[in-house]
Amino acid sequence: MKSASTSSTVTPFEEISREDWARLSQQTPLPLSEADVDRLRGLGDRVDLVEVDAVYRPISRLLNIQVAAAQALRRSREDFLDQHQQRTPYIIGVAGSVAVGKSTTARLLRELMARWPDTPRVQLVTTDGFLYPNRVLEARGIMQRKGFPESYDRRRLLRFMADVKAGQERVEAPVYSHLTYDILEDEMVVVEQPDVLIVEGLNVLQPARPRRDGKLGMSVSDFFDFSVYVDARQEDVQRWYVNRFLKLRQTAFSDPRSYFRRYAELTDVEAIQTAQRIWNTINGPNLTENVVPTRGRADLVLRKDGQHRVHSVLLRKI
């Protein structure tokens, strides 16, 4: 396969065109149905069966190879150390902007990975559950910075990741409700030694932060075996966000329990203005300051065009 890149710049990534990448789908006999794609597609995401076959099936095969290699390495280490090592989950991180389609990507990978015979147990956890509760955000004066790195309970998230990677039998993760826009204090997601754990979130590729003593702490990505970043031009992501906001008026916003119920009756003009204001003050700055800078830390970058189609793939060289 030839790289699609014509640049002479030295880069740790190989760029693969959509056409070359799509040919790799012939190596995986794990198709989804149109009904599967409809069930997994996020609001505003135009992914269809053609896109899944061309883009996501090859990713599932690549990940299947990665998992097999990790398992073989574990067995080799056991032989070398002459001791049994507890099998731990293979952890995949999925990062990207609000409205870019990372949640759909994570769900598709969960579905496809679970179809491989050596990874039947695949679980998905989103880092939204590790946001501080609204009462804490309000007390700290950062309610308008929800989604920024400081709005997450990093200590709790890192403890969760460490427990999962240590192979604990049962690890709990908090649950976030996009309806009430808050943590559900009495609900938990239970992770029970899956073959693969997918962790999806805005800031999962953030590097470690210096501690008060000047030393570097741990980062979430330290626990990843592989990571995916879903990428698109900021102007396209902003447009997708506004369009999704408009659609939410007839769906989630119209629910009487919704935190955003007040937006349900907005006119198109009012809704567009509101969505653009939220983007310009919260989501846009967070994307520019915190999310995009982590793109180069990923193992695989999916580059989307303005129609939500992946036009090329960047794969880190090994």
DSSP 8-state code for residue 117: T
Going by pLDDT thresholds of 50, 70 and 90, the confidence category of residue 305 is very high
CA triplet 228, 281, 148: central angle to 5 degrees?
45
Question: What pLDDT, in 10s, does the model give residues 72-83?
Answer: 999 999 999 998
**Rounded percentage of the chain residues whose pLDDT exceeds 70:** 97
Question: What pLDDT, in 10s, does the model give residues 164-193?
Answer: 999 999 999 999 999 999 999 899 999 999
Bigger pLDDT: 26 vs 57:
57
CA triplet 233, 239, 315: central angle to 5 degrees?
30
Going by pLDDT thresholds of 50, 70 and 90, the confidence category of residue 6 is very low
Q: Please, where are the H alpha helices in 114-230? A: 134-139, 154-165
CA triplet 291, 296, 100: central angle to 5 degrees?
45
- Alpha carbon of residue 77 to chain centroid: 30
Does pLDDT of 288 surpass 90?
A: yes
- Rounded CA-CA distance 168/191 in Å is 9
List the single range of 38-47, 124-133, 306-315 with lowest mean pLDDT: 38-47
Q: For position 30, what pLDDT does the model report? A: 66
CATH number at residue 163: 3.40.50.300
Q: Is residue 93 part of a domain?
A: yes
Q: For position 289, what pLDDT does the model report? A: 97
Q: Is residue 292 part of a domain?
A: yes
Q: For position 195, what pLDDT does the model report? A: 96
Going by pLDDT thresholds of 50, 70 and 90, the confidence category of residue 44 is low
What is the average per-residue pLDDT within 138-149?
Answer: 96
Question: What pLDDT, in 10s, does the model give residues 253-269?
Answer: 889 889 899 999 999 99
Going by pLDDT thresholds of 50, 70 and 90, the confidence category of residue 1 is low
Which two three-digit tokens encode residue 311?
């036009």
List the single range of 6-10, 59-63, 98-102, 173-177 with lowest mean pLDDT: 6-10
Which two three-digit tokens encode residue 191?
């992770």
Residue 131 three-state SS: strand
Q: For position 208, what pLDDT does the model report? A: 87
Q: Is residue 37 part of a domain?
A: no
List the single range of 16-30, 69-83, 228-242, 289-303 with lowest mean pLDDT: 16-30
Question: What pLDDT, in 10s, does the model give residues 53-68?
Answer: 999 999 999 999 999 9
Does pLDDT of 41 surpass 50?
A: yes
Q: Is residue 127 part of a domain?
A: yes
Domain count, the chain: 1
The answer to whether the CB of 288 falls within 8 A of the CB of 197 is no
Q: Is residue 19 part of a domain?
A: no
Sheet holding 13-17, edge to edge: 13-17, 310-316, 300-304, 226-231, 90-96, 196-200, 122-126
Beta bridge partners of 227: 93
What residue type is assigned to position 209 of the chain? R
In total, the chain counts a number of residues equal to: 318
Q: Is residue 290 part of a domain?
A: yes
In the block, tokens 């409700």 appear at 177
Kindly give the interhelix angle for 268-278 and 234-248, rounded to the nearest 10 degrees.
130
Output the DSSP codes for 192-223.
Answer: ---SEEEEE-TTTTPPPPB-TTS-B---GGGG
The phi and psi torsions of 103 (rounded to 5 degrees) equal -65, -40
Does pLDDT of 153 surpass 90?
A: yes
- Taking phi over 0 as left and psi of -120 to 50 as alpha, with beta for the rest, 181 belongs to left
Q: Is residue 18 part of a domain?
A: no
- Taking phi over 0 as left and psi of -120 to 50 as alpha, with beta for the rest, 82 belongs to left
Average pLDDT, rounded, for the chain: 92
Question: What pLDDT, in 10s, does the model give residues 197-250?
Answer: 999 999 999 998 877 787 778 999 999 999 999 999 999 999 999 999 999 988
Does pLDDT of 5 surpass 70?
A: no
Domain that holds residue 150: 87-302
What is the average per-residue pLDDT within 149-176?
Answer: 96
* Residue of 148, 99, 100, 142 lying closest to 127 (CA atoms): 148
pTM of the shown model: 0.92
Going by pLDDT thresholds of 50, 70 and 90, the confidence category of residue 43 is low
Q: Is residue 212 part of a domain?
A: yes
- Rounded CA-CA distance 207/218 in Å is 8
Which two three-digit tokens encode residue 286?
């967070």
